[in-house]
Amino acid sequence: MTDLLSRLLSERDWLLTDGATGTNLFNMGLEAGDPPEFWNVDYPDRIRALYKGAVDAGSDLFLTNSFGGNASRLKLHQAEDRARELSRISAELGREVADAAGRPVVVAGSVGPTGEIMAPMGTLTHEIAVEMFHEQAEGLKEGGADVLWLETISAPEEYKAAAEAFALAGMPWCGTMSFDTAGRTMMGMTSEAMVAMVETLDHPPIAFGANCGVGASDLLRTVLGFTAQGTARPVVAKGNAGIPKYEDGHIHYDGTPELMAEYAILARDSGAKIIGGCCGTMPEHLRAMRNALETRPAGERPTLEMITGALGGFSSASDGTGDDHVAPDRPRRRRRK
């Protein structure tokens, strides 16, 4: 049986995902410091409203409210024993909204990072990471998620652990990393290296890509890095609505709906097939993105100059790929074995 996402991917040139979860929930009154996953039980109507906001704005796929729903993150709120339950309920609510949409909408069970540094640098072992991801995956599966959706990952080891866990749960999945450090992930992975890693997995994702990071321009440079490798696997682009700005005691993202519409078009022209937003992306942004994707013709593959011209500059000169990235010569002394 083919999963819904694979079917839609075979029928359509592009799919629109949802936008921000956190930004929307804070607007509904989530207090900073409180785990959003508790709301699946405490305020299910607000979570339904979050999902419905994306569906009504034209999203073909939305992520469940379970990003921090692994035992490691929930432990910070003394709720490590609720990982499976909170994940399951996030997907059940998603199922209700998707099934009432009147068109096929994919419920993607969100799985965020553990927040731990993996061994040997840190303390999280591969086995425990797999166990935590597996527990969450089973919950999302029980709740009726169509696919699992790993996001905001920095360490390739953590990505691999999740892939293994999702195989144990027998679930199709997508997985994106955050490229926020000089064009690489915090742990140093380039877009190019991610393409290679994904193809080595025993249980590879349906689609892979980038989310969050540093604004829409950087994210598109990463997407160009993926597609330059000639990968046949669908690419996901889920960028932030611009850069957060601090004004008069509060924060807002500077990406307007018009800018995010430009971003969506450029993402498609860069070769991304699954396109959406991340932090700061609200239903009005999604509507503008949907409208642009539906009404504007596909264009040529953008250059870096076209991206910065439309969306603003990059945060770093290079993204660590290609021949232009040459480490300075650091003469080494003799090395011992």
278 annotated to bind ligand: yes
| Residue 336 C-beta: closest distance to another protein, Å | 5
Nearer to another protein, 33 or 230 (CB): 33
| Residue 19 C-beta: closest distance to another protein, Å | 14
* Contacts made by residues 21-29, CB under 8 angstroms, sequence distance 24+: 21/50, 21/63, 21/65, 21/67, 21/110, 22/279, 23/253, 23/279, 23/280, 23/281, 23/282, 24/50, 24/53, 24/282, 25/50, 25/65
Give the DSSP letter of residue 212: S
174 annotated to bind ligand: no
| Residue 34 C-beta: closest distance to another protein, Å | 8
Which segments of the chain does DSSP mark as H helices, in order? 4-11, 22-27, 39-42, 44-56, 71-74, 83-99, 126-142, 156-169, 191-199, 215-227, 257-269, 283-295, 304-311
The backbone torsions φ and ψ at residue 150, rounded to the nearest 5 degrees and listed phi first, read -80, 135
Nearer to another protein, 197 or 306 (CB): 197
Nearer to another protein, 115 or 322 (CB): 115
Angle (nearest 5°) at CA 48 between 45 and 50: 110
Nearer to another protein, 103 or 250 (CB): 250
Nearer to another protein, 73 or 233 (CB): 73
Are the C-beta atoms of residues 156 and 179 closer than 8 Å to each other?
A: no
Separation between Cα atoms, residue 255 and residue 326, nearest integer Å: 33
| Residue 337 C-beta: closest distance to another protein, Å | 5
Nearer to another protein, 44 or 244 (CB): 244
| Residue 21 C-beta: closest distance to another protein, Å | 12
User: Which residues, 6+ apart, have CB-to-CB distance to 328 below 8 Å?
Assistant: none
Separation between Cα atoms, residue 220 and residue 168, nearest integer Å: 33
Interface contacts to another protein, rule CB under 8 A? 22-23, 26, 31-33, 35, 68, 73, 76-77, 115-117, 121-122, 154, 180-184, 186-188, 214, 243-244, 246, 249-251, 253, 279-280, 316, 318, 320, 327-328, 330, 332-337
Nearer to another protein, 61 or 194 (CB): 194
Nearer to another protein, 175 or 280 (CB): 280
| Residue 253 C-beta: closest distance to another protein, Å | 8
User: Beta strand 244-247 with 250-253: parallel, antiparallel or unpaired?
Assistant: antiparallel
Per the listing, tokens 């490229």 go with: 179
* Contacts made by residues 228-231, CB under 8 angstroms, sequence distance 24+: 228/192, 228/321, 229/191, 229/192, 229/195, 229/196, 231/195, 231/198, 231/199
| Residue 81 C-beta: closest distance to another protein, Å | 18
| Residue 182 C-beta: closest distance to another protein, Å | 3
**Residues in binding site:** 212, 278-279
**Residues in binding site for Zn(2+):** 212, 278-279
